[in-house]
Chains A and B, each alone.
Chain A
Amino acid sequence: MSSDTESSRLARATRNEYLEYWFALPAILILLALVIIPMVWSLYVSFTNLNLTIASRTTEFIGLANYADLLTSGRFWDAIINTAYYVGIGVTVQFVLGFAVALIMANYTDGWLNSLLFTVLLLPMMMAPVVAGLMWRLLFDESFGPINHLLGAMGLPEPSWLSSAQLSLDAILIADIWQWTPFMILILYTGRLAINEDLYEAARMDGASKWFTFRHVTVPQMKGVIAVALLIRAMDAFKFFDKMYLMTQGGPGTSSELGTYYNYLLGFSDFAMGRATAMSWLLLLFAVVLANIFLWVLERGEGGEQVV
């Protein structure tokens, strides 16, 4: 009897057309509380003059003033230009180096040599960025760093890497290229291995040179993988923070200050929350626009095939 009522209750419950939403509700609530409400709130804050250090002041709605101030500020644009330089040069170098090494590993080395290369190449990636940052700060140190020691021993000039406005950003770039090129190698190597070897044999039979095969078989076949690798690295580089914070703190002056760091200073040093949230939204906008331009350019390539 009781089992009968239970099963009929279950039957009624499963007939409930909103049942699936009840199951999703906990996840939706968590998302709302941790992501969506804070985002909407931050958007609101970006239109106010909220500053946590001025307790007495009543927070006022000031419209687009935060955005206007940022977009007309030299420091903001310097930070954006530094970020663009850092993302553009860094990801390009990582990609070119990574692609070259991946192709060499796929075509010219194999067996134990590849295993060894993998182990060695993956080490930088396994290191915590903070540790890598500290390590490179020591390596670049002007008085007792091994890099300048070696340069000096070879009779070359010993630049002041981290305290020169010309070199500080490049020093950070070198550290980041060192750490993340292996990621490119790994992704592009697996992407290359996923291509059917028959295509390469067919290309050889078709009389294609190595360069022709690279352009007309390898690159188009790897378009999807290349897009994903570039996108992941570009997004990651865009929000880069750790090594710069450890190596230069944006210095000397603001010469190596990136968008993320300036944003951090606005929020957690100046506590100018209105200004900081406005900058966060601008950075997000840049990232979204860049990513879409990037995908659009890739999709226009040979054959116009969907890549992602």
Chain B
Amino acid sequence: MSRIELDEVTKVFDDDVLAVDDVSLTIEDDELVVFVGPSGSGKSTTLRMIAGLEKPTDGDIRIAGERMTHVEPQNRDIAMVFQSFALYPHRSVRGNLSFPLEARDMDDDEIERRVAEAAEILGITELLDRKPSQLSGGQQQRVALGRAIVRDPQAFLMDEPLANLDAKLRTQMRAEVVSLQQELGVTMIHVTHNQEEAMTMGDRVVVMDQGEVQQIAPPKEMYQRPANRFVAEFIGSPSMNIIEGSIEDETFSAYDSGVTLGLPSGLSGVTGEVALGIRPENVELVDEPGDYTFEAKVELIELLGNVQIVHFDVGGQEFLAELHPDVEVEQGEHRHVRVAPGKGHLFDGLSSRSERIVPEGEA
């Protein structure tokens, strides 16, 4: 039972910077939750408050039902993996793994047993006598994880632990961290600025921006039903296309590009200023103009192998489409782009906090 609850937690730093603004969320037992957001979004500060390294200005933090808001980190029974790994350079791998156990005055046999077990799980047994400086980035990462798991803590906090690894290793460690979490059955909070990492790792994803939680949802829901324009643009790569405009008589007219589109039936009641979001994969090229189509000029084509990303110019605005590589496109030509019906997202205003308008019939 190591549920983590944040209740209206706020953090204002000494220089009056509001880092975390009134955050409430609950992380269930054995859940892997990913905090994601751009830098300065307050995700790391939130994590550090859960760790106890920062004290909240306001609000409460409970771990396993106990109020921990003002408890020192050493008494919280929580392990943390740092972006820099923070291995003790003067100690061998063994010394690093045993550090938290020695700090707790555990007896030598038990330390020996636990260190061996953790090293076994992470496949670093043969590295036990090396110094951190003699290890590769991936090995250091494993030692950092090992130092967290030897303790068998209530929860794991991971502060961008994969950010210092190269791309290939990052993908590999991502999967390893997830399987480790499942194997150990522990609560884990993982912080990243990489939305792909968030989508692939999290049972649930918490998107933050400017100290506020924007949305808490499982990855698929986050992608399909972003709560507001910020989440819509942040999650997904390439990002969602946004066209700003207004709706009158069930027709959307863009401000800059002259694009006009009819609305599908579920959104028939909407009027006024909106932002229309269309994911690059939700469009196709058609030969004739018709419903849900607009004309656009091909500016640039990026072939990625399995898909091609086509950059269109729509009245001076960029619009990205992700198409099958066999679709014939020529740079400079004008084409008719058709939006898949029901795949557009409407946000009720132009700011990044504009909420998504939920179509009728959607749960």
**Which residues of A are at the interface with B, using a C-beta cutoff of 8 A?**
196, 198-199, 201-209, 212, 216-217, 220-221, 223, 302-303, 305
Among A201, A205, A220, A221, find the residue whose CB has the most chain B CB atoms closer than 10 A: A205
With A216-B99, A221-B89 already in contact, the answer to whether A202 and B82 are too (CB < 8 A) is yes
Contact: A303 with B74, CB < 8 Å? no
Distance of A302 Cα from B99 Cα, bound (Å): 13
B132–chain A nearest beta-carbon distance, Å: 11
CB-defined contacts of B53 to chain A, threshold 8 Å: 201, 204-205
| A-B CB proximity, top 7 nearest | A206-B100, A198-B86, A202-B86, A208-B103, A220-B90, A205-B80, A204-B73
CB-defined contacts of B102 to chain A, threshold 8 Å: 212, 216
Cβ < 8 Å to A, chain B residues 148-162: 151
Further pairs besides A202-B80, A205-B74: 15, Cβ < 8 Å: A196-B84, A199-B86, A201-B73, A203-B99, A206-B103, A207-B75, A207-B77, A207-B103, A208-B99, A209-B103, A220-B90, A220-B91, A221-B89, A221-B90, A303-B131
Interface residues as binary, B62-103 with A (CB distance below 8 Å gives 1, 0 otherwise):
000000000011110111101010111111100100011011
Contact: A201 with B74, CB < 8 Å? no
15 residue pairs bridging A and B, Cβ less than 8 Å apart? A196-B86, A198-B86, A201-B80, A204-B53, A204-B72, A205-B80, A206-B103, A206-B147, A207-B75, A207-B103, A207-B151, A209-B103, A212-B102, A221-B89, A305-B90
Q: Is the CB of B104 closer than 8 A to any CB of chain A?
A: yes
CB-defined contacts of B151 to chain A, threshold 8 Å: 206-207
Distance of A223 Cα from B51 Cα, bound (Å): 30
CB-defined contacts of A305 to chain B, threshold 8 Å: 90
Among B52, B72, B73, B151, find the residue whose CB has the most chain A CB atoms closer than 10 A: B73
Contact: B88 with A199, CB < 8 Å? yes
The residue in chain B whose Cβ has the minimal distance to the Cβ of A206 is B100
Secondary structure at the A interface, as helix, strand, loop or mixed, is helix
Cβ-neighbour of B99 out of A201, A206, A303 (below 8 A): A206
The residue in chain B whose Cβ has the minimal distance to the Cβ of A216 is B99
B218–chain A nearest beta-carbon distance, Å: 29
Distance of A223 Cα from B74 Cα, bound (Å): 25
Q: Chain B interface: which size bin?
A: 20 to 34
CB-defined contacts of A203 to chain B, threshold 8 Å: 99, 103
CB-defined contacts of A204 to chain B, threshold 8 Å: 52-53, 72-74
Cβ-neighbour of A205 out of B79, B88, B90, B95 (below 8 A): B79
CB-defined contacts of B95 to chain A, threshold 8 Å: 303
Distance of A206 Cα from B147 Cα, bound (Å): 8
Contact: B73 with A205, CB < 8 Å? yes
The residue in chain A whose Cβ has the minimal distance to the Cβ of B84 is A198
With A204-B73, A208-B99, A212-B103 already in contact, the answer to whether A303 and B86 are too (CB < 8 A) is no
Contact: A217 with B86, CB < 8 Å? no
Contact: A217 with B73, CB < 8 Å? no
CB-defined contacts of A216 to chain B, threshold 8 Å: 88, 91, 99, 102-103
With A204-B53, A209-B103 already in contact, the answer to whether A302 and B90 are too (CB < 8 A) is yes
A128–chain B nearest beta-carbon distance, Å: 39
Contact: A207 with B100, CB < 8 Å? yes
Distance of A217 Cα from B103 Cα, bound (Å): 12
Contact: A208 with B88, CB < 8 Å? no
Cβ-neighbour of B104 out of A198, A207, A217, A223 (below 8 A): A207
CB-defined contacts of A208 to chain B, threshold 8 Å: 74, 99-100, 103
CB-defined contacts of B103 to chain A, threshold 8 Å: 203, 206-209, 212, 216
Distance of A201 Cα from B144 Cα, bound (Å): 13
CB-defined contacts of B79 to chain A, threshold 8 Å: 205-206
Distance of A206 Cα from B82 Cα, bound (Å): 12
B127–chain A nearest beta-carbon distance, Å: 16
CB-defined contacts of A209 to chain B, threshold 8 Å: 74, 103
Distance of A212 Cα from B88 Cα, bound (Å): 13
Contact: A303 with B90, CB < 8 Å? yes
The residue in chain B whose Cβ has the minimal distance to the Cβ of A219 is B90
CB-defined contacts of B72 to chain A, threshold 8 Å: 204
Distance of A217 Cα from B90 Cα, bound (Å): 8
The residue in chain A whose Cβ has the minimal distance to the Cβ of B104 is A207
The residue in chain B whose Cβ has the minimal distance to the Cβ of A220 is B90
CB-defined contacts of A202 to chain B, threshold 8 Å: 80, 82, 86-88, 147
B63–chain A nearest beta-carbon distance, Å: 14
The residue in chain A whose Cβ has the minimal distance to the Cβ of B72 is A204
Contact: A198 with B92, CB < 8 Å? no
A113–chain B nearest beta-carbon distance, Å: 15
CB-defined contacts of A221 to chain B, threshold 8 Å: 89-90
Distance of A221 Cα from B79 Cα, bound (Å): 22
Distance of A302 Cα from B131 Cα, bound (Å): 13
Contact: A198 with B82, CB < 8 Å? yes
Contact: A205 with B51, CB < 8 Å? yes
B198–chain A nearest beta-carbon distance, Å: 23
The residue in chain B whose Cβ has the minimal distance to the Cβ of A199 is B86
CB-defined contacts of B90 to chain A, threshold 8 Å: 220-221, 223, 302-303, 305
Distance of A124 Cα from B256 Cα, bound (Å): 72
Distance of A196 Cα from B85 Cα, bound (Å): 11
The residue in chain B whose Cβ has the minimal distance to the Cβ of A202 is B86
B119–chain A nearest beta-carbon distance, Å: 17
CB-defined contacts of A198 to chain B, threshold 8 Å: 82, 84, 86
CB-defined contacts of B91 to chain A, threshold 8 Å: 216, 220, 302-303
Distance of A196 Cα from B349 Cα, bound (Å): 46
CB-defined contacts of A303 to chain B, threshold 8 Å: 90-92, 95, 131
Contact: A201 with B100, CB < 8 Å? no
Contact: B89 with A201, CB < 8 Å? no
